[in-house]
Structure 1
Amino acid sequence: MRLILAAGAAGMVLSPAAALAQDPVHLVVKNHHFSPDHVTVPAGQRFLMTLTNQDDTVDEFESYDMKFEKIVVQGGTITVHAGPLHPGTYKFFDDYHPDLATGTVTADGAAQEGTH
């Protein structure tokens, strides 16, 4: 019985990591522009996005489409959880500089189909 419980507990520890689509997507905001400003992720899977702020101001990483908003201080790095997303393109932006700092995430349905 203990062996079964230990095996079950080990599976629970591994499950959240296995549920992520890939390594985190790394973004930088500098001069009020994202780099890269477009990324592709598999549809139907959760993923992480990290953002490092190299601007000389505070920024607010936000997406109405992916339902997140998070402040990132000058020189700081934040992580947001996103997805799972249906196939399509989703926008993100810096709420303090929305005309300059914009980007997109494309959820690729072909990547999802290839995992079956």
Structure 2
Amino acid sequence: MTLLRMNSRRIGCLLWLCALLTCASARGEVPIFTLEIRDHLFYPSTLVVPARTKVKLIVINRDTTPEEFESYELNREKVIMGGAKATIFIGPLAPGDYPFFGEFNPKTAQGMIRVED
């Protein structure tokens, strides 16, 4: 009987801990930011995001042709087909500027992620 009670208490504590962690992660939602590609340009060309925070970047390609979001500094590259959207997670990042470009139109499709406190 004593052994059964000890196991029940451990299971109860484990379940309570799991519920607590689930609630904590639900409150810590990832901020969402949107970039659009139109006429082979990124809008906005400079996007300000919070420092030391993981963010969700939604890139919407309004053009009919594909474009590739690429950034050496962010270590990200993602092809977004014409008329489609893509999700890219970045961060947490230190304050600073992180350039990105569209690999299929590098002369026009340029932008910057500005990370600020």
Query: Same fold per TM (> 0.5)?
Result: yes
Cα distance, 1:42 vs structure 2? 1.1
Matched, 1:18 2:28: yes
Could you tell me which runs of 5 or more consecutive residues in structure 2 were left unpaired when the two chains were aligned: 1-8
Q: Supply the distance in 2 between the matched residues of 1:31 and 1:71 (Cα, whole angstroms).
A: 16
Cα distance, 1:11 vs structure 2? 3.9
Cα distance, 1:17 vs structure 2? 6.3
Cα distance, 1:101 vs structure 2? 0.6
Tell me whether 93-102 or 3-12 shows the greater mean CA deviation: 3-12
Tell me whether 64-73 or 4-13 shows the greater mean CA deviation: 4-13
Q: How many residues align?
A: 107
> What is the letter of the counterpart of residue 38 of structure 2?
K
> What is the letter of the counterpart of residue 97 of structure 2?
T
Which one of the candidate residues 5, 28, 31 is aligned to 2:14?
A: 5
Give the alignment of 1:22-61 within 5 angstroms.
Answer: 22=31, 24-61=32-69
Matched, 1:95 2:103: yes
Q: Supply the distance in 1 between the matched residues of 2:26 and 2:90 (Cα, whole angstroms).
A: 14
Cα distance, 1:98 vs structure 2? 0.8
> What is the letter of the counterpart of residue 52 of structure 1?
I
Cα distance, 1:16 vs structure 2? 7.0
Task: Judge conservation of contact 1:19–1:45 (CA < 8 Å) in 2.
Answer: no
Cα distance, 1:5 vs structure 2? 2.7
| Alignment TM-score, normalising by the size of structure 2 | 0.81
> What is the letter of the counterpart of residue 15 of structure 1?
S
| Alignment TM-score, normalising by the size of structure 1 | 0.82
